[in-house]
Chains A and B, each alone.
Chain A
Amino acid sequence: MIENKNESMNENIYVPFPSVLKEIIPHTQKEWTFRMSYRDAKNVKPGQFFEVSVPKYGEAPISVSGIGDDFIDLTIRRVGRVTDEVFKFKAGDSVLLRGPYGNGFDTGLYENGEVIVVAGGTGVSPVRGVIEALSKTADAKDKHVIVGFRSPDDMLFREDLKSWAEKLDLILTVDGIPEGSDYKGNIGLVTKYIPDVPIRDLAAAQAVVVGPPAMMKFSVMGLLQKGFKEENIWVSQERKMCCGLGKCGHCRIGSTYVCLDGPVFNYVDSKEMID
């Protein structure tokens, strides 16, 4: 356990708290889910993020990919200094966290009526909680989820994908397949599937788009062409969030702080945000 030696430290919002790593769930070689103990998990929303803090290596903002009774899931891609170290942790280890930060998705918005979620790659992490909630609604067949990965080997949350496929309208696709692959599913970018999603009431249907910048741009274009209203489209932005507290400046876009005002934005606002 990490002990706090100063009384004033209780008000020091930069000091991380220790969380026990309960379980590691590997998806691919480079993408694992770290299940972290967190007592106040019921107050965490999908789309919010935590700063994972590794002394000597720094901090990395990671979005919440799952919320349990006493844990949160952080799905981490091994791409840098901090995440390299995180991948050395073992179940039972104590990991330092700060958060949760950001606004997160308002899942209540998507409970009733038609919804389409378009997610690509690690962009599935922040919306996993949203899709999970959609899969439990009474009209789950009106919830359409398009999930794309680079290749069959890059697929995340395989178990979830299976269960989602049974409950809601799931379109799972990959950008391409390596030679000799026995993959039999959809091949093509997520944008290819947007026009054919059956939506009865385009004026009311909600859309959530999360993924790499180019994928988000073209998915939103596809939704608008289809007839979705701008104010019904929600996106989540990825930026360099050093502090999560609206101080360090790195995530600012115009008058917006992604860490405070986002990372989830309505498209009406996000379309005006120019980096």
Chain B
Amino acid sequence: MGYVLSKEAFDEVLGKLSEDFLLYSPVRKIGEGCYTDVDVVRYDFVKSLDEIELEAKSNYAFKELLTPLSQTLFFFTENETKEADSDTRDVIIFLRSCDMHAVKRLDAIYLENKFADPFYERVRKRVKFALIGCGHSFENCFCVSMKSNVTTDGYLFSLDFDRDAGQVSCDVKDEDIAKLFEEAGASAADVVPSSVTENDTKVTVPDVVPNAVYKDKLWDEYTARCIKCGRCNFVCPTCTCYTMQDIFYTDNGRVGERRRVGSSCMVDGYTNVAGGGEYRRTNGERMRFKTLHKIYDFSKRFGYDMCVGCGRCDDVCPEYISFANIINKVNAAAKAAAAGEGGAQHD
């Protein structure tokens, strides 16, 4: 069901939806960026169209609501454990197509992969999605190469806003929500959510990565350039790793909580085992580990690539490392290795 309606009428729909749902969307935070006088676009709760940032890519992904950066698993007291109360309100998250595809990756790790995570499962059940039409590619995006540029289902309704005409077009998938659109006076129309058809940045993901590529000298560049800050992991909509952390409220107290806190495969300590063992010491090895997970290893396990081509890692990297370039270099190295040419190798 497609509908076209005025901005005011759309706000009326959002108002009605707000009675049953929290609305979580990208929001421009003026002057709150990492540098002075720089804005940041991150997810927050909204009630009207004006609050939703539709012109820019969000710097941080939506995932904090599904996989909080720090999450209490349970509280300890002297002789009992108690789970933290969790929010029970339903939420609609506004996502672009690439991020819709990212949700599928989060589900794979947290709902599949042998065990279902109870915290994720609970929050996932109360989350629905609205698709933000994405008519033009942003800098560093390569969603077309990663096949995440189009989303045809999994959302309640889509949202395309023609600012000049003051008109909102929506593809509504949910019958109850369609009623809200009709009550707000929306007129029926054929609506296809806009989607990116071409990016300036293009990548080719290799079908097979021979073991020779793991030791290729191409990774040395990243040992030199990467500063293992882990920002790429924190903005990535598909990164899911965490570390357990115990917190106690007073130093001699016996009351505290166990949390899980987001962690990064790029930073020190990620692989440390008791007694001093460590598995990937150089930044290049870590970059290789992360890259191949995103474009090869995850796919071997789940059947599709983890990376959705949103380009946020490139946007945030303080060393201007391009993940898209890395993918293309891996592809070239994989081809060379398969052809038996073999690039420069480490022992």
Chain A residues at the B interface, C-beta cutoff of 8 Å: 1-6, 8-9, 11-15, 55-60, 77, 79-80, 83, 213, 238-240, 242-243, 245-250, 252, 254-255, 257, 260, 272, 274-275
Secondary structure at the B interface, as helix, strand, loop or mixed, is mixed
Q: A14-B74, A55-B256, A58-B244 are in contact. Are A255 and B301 (CB under 8 A)?
A: yes
Complex Cα distance A274/B275, Å?
Answer: 21
Are A12 and B274 closer than 8 Å at their CB atoms? Answer: no
Are B242 and A5 closer than 8 Å at their CB atoms? Answer: no
Complex Cα distance A80/B275, Å?
Answer: 7
The answer to whether B345 has its CB under 8 Å from any CB of chain A is no
Chain A residues near B115 (CB-CB < 8 A): 13, 245-247
Contact partner, A14, options B214, B248, B258, B270, Cβ 8 Å: B258
Q: How many Å from the CB of B241 to the closest CB on chain A?
A: 3
Are A9 and B265 closer than 8 Å at their CB atoms? Answer: no
Chain A residues near B113 (CB-CB < 8 A): 246-247, 257, 260
Q: How many Å from the CB of A238 to the closest CB on chain B?
A: 6
Complex Cα distance A18/B80, Å?
Answer: 10
Complex Cα distance A275/B115, Å?
Answer: 23
Are B274 and A3 closer than 8 Å at their CB atoms? Answer: no
Q: How many Å from the CB of B7 to the closest CB on chain A?
A: 42
Cβ-closest chain A residue relative to B253: A56
Q: How many Å from the CB of B205 to the closest CB on chain A?
A: 15
Selected interface stretch from B40-48, B143-151, B290-298: B290-298
| 18 CB < 8 A contacts A-B | A2-B80, A2-B81, A3-B79, A8-B83, A12-B83, A13-B115, A55-B246, A57-B246, A240-B272, A242-B242, A243-B260, A246-B109, A247-B240, A250-B241, A250-B271, A260-B113, A272-B211, A275-B280
Are B244 and A5 closer than 8 Å at their CB atoms? Answer: no
Secondary structure at the A interface, as helix, strand, loop or mixed, is loop
Are B82 and A238 closer than 8 Å at their CB atoms? Answer: no
Are B114 and A246 closer than 8 Å at their CB atoms? Answer: yes
Other 7 A-B pairs with CB < 8 A, given A238-B277, A242-B242: A2-B81, A3-B81, A5-B83, A239-B271, A240-B270, A247-B113, A275-B280
Are A9 and B246 closer than 8 Å at their CB atoms? Answer: no
Are A247 and B242 closer than 8 Å at their CB atoms? Answer: yes
Complex Cα distance A79/B275, Å?
Answer: 5
The answer to whether B243 has its CB under 8 Å from any CB of chain A is yes
Instruction: Give chain B interface residues in 161-199, CB to chain A under 8 Å.
Output: none
Chain A residues near B263 (CB-CB < 8 A): 248-250
Instruction: Give chain B interface residues in 239-291, CB to chain A under 8 Å.
Output: 240-246, 248, 254, 256, 258, 260, 263, 265, 270-275, 277, 279-280, 285, 289
Are B74 and A9 closer than 8 Å at their CB atoms? Answer: yes
Are B246 and A56 closer than 8 Å at their CB atoms? Answer: yes
Contact partner, A79, options B80, B211, B243, B274, Cβ 8 Å: B274
Are B256 and A15 closer than 8 Å at their CB atoms? Answer: no
Contact with A along B111-140 (1 / 0, CB 8 A): 001110111000000000000000000000
Are B80 and A252 closer than 8 Å at their CB atoms? Answer: no
